[in-house]
Amino acid sequence: MLGKIFSLPLDKEKGLSKDVALAVNYIRQEATRRGMKSELYSMDTEIVGNRSDIREVLNKTDELMRKSGKSIYTSITLYDDSARISTFPLDKKESEYNEVINYAIEEAEKVGMKYRKTEFGVEIEGDDNNFWRIVRETHEKSRNYKGRAYTVITIDDREGKTNAITEKVESIERILEKSE
């Protein structure tokens, strides 16, 4: 099993920030103006429309969040005709975030799992039981800092497949070399 873990300590006392509320409001207003469907969920907003309109809304939302002057986290899942957007300012301490990610790496090393640190998390690959234990413990460690955690887990689970951490990157690089 190959998975990516991103776990961020959030301040449970702060709740929804004004910046996030403004961004969500902008997304919904702009989607309506463009004749797109929008739906607000607990942690994200979904918009449905053509790719050109979706990209424009995403770019303008990113600009709006950057104007807040704060570090931000934005997660976008883009489908054929829709996108899911989660965005919020980061009020984390860098040391807390690094401790959480380093914990996941240390646990992966202890049990011999492959891992690769990324800009906003860590990819780990290995057996299911250790994977889920590390995910659970990493999330708990993140939540223990401020009483709230935002954890994203992405999984690529292909039976009998190992070494996906390096093989996927190598495969893409080979394709790109052939196209040049």
Q: Is 112 left (phi over 0), alpha (psi -120 to 50) or beta?
A: left
Q: Looking at domain 14-89, does it have CATH number 2.60.120?
A: no
Q: For residue 92, is pLDDT > 60? A: no
CA distance 162 to 126: 8
User: Which amino acid, 6?
Assistant: F
* 2-10+93-179: CATH architecture: 2-Layer Sandwich (3.30)
pLDDT, tens only, 119-136 = 768 888 888 899 999 999
Domain coordinates in residue numbering, the chain: 2-10+93-179, 14-89
Residue 95 predicted with pLDDT over 80: no
Please, are residues 87 and 23 in contact by the beta-carbon 8 Å criterion? yes
Question: Is there a contact between 26 and 64 (Cβ–Cβ < 8 Å)?
Answer: yes
pLDDT given at position 24: 79
Rounded to whole angstroms, the Cα distance separating 91 from 97 reads 11
Same fold, 2-10+93-179 and 14-89: yes
Proportion of the chain above pLDDT 90, given as a percent = 9
Q: What is the pLDDT of residues 26-84, one digit of tens each?
A: 888 888 888 988 887 766 788 888 888 888 888 887 787 777 666 666 777 777 776 66
At residue 137, the pLDDT reads 92
* Pairing relationship of beta strands 2-11 and 45-48 according to DSSP bridges: unpaired
Question: Dihedral, CA atoms, 102, 107, 108, 110, nearest 10 degrees?
Answer: 130
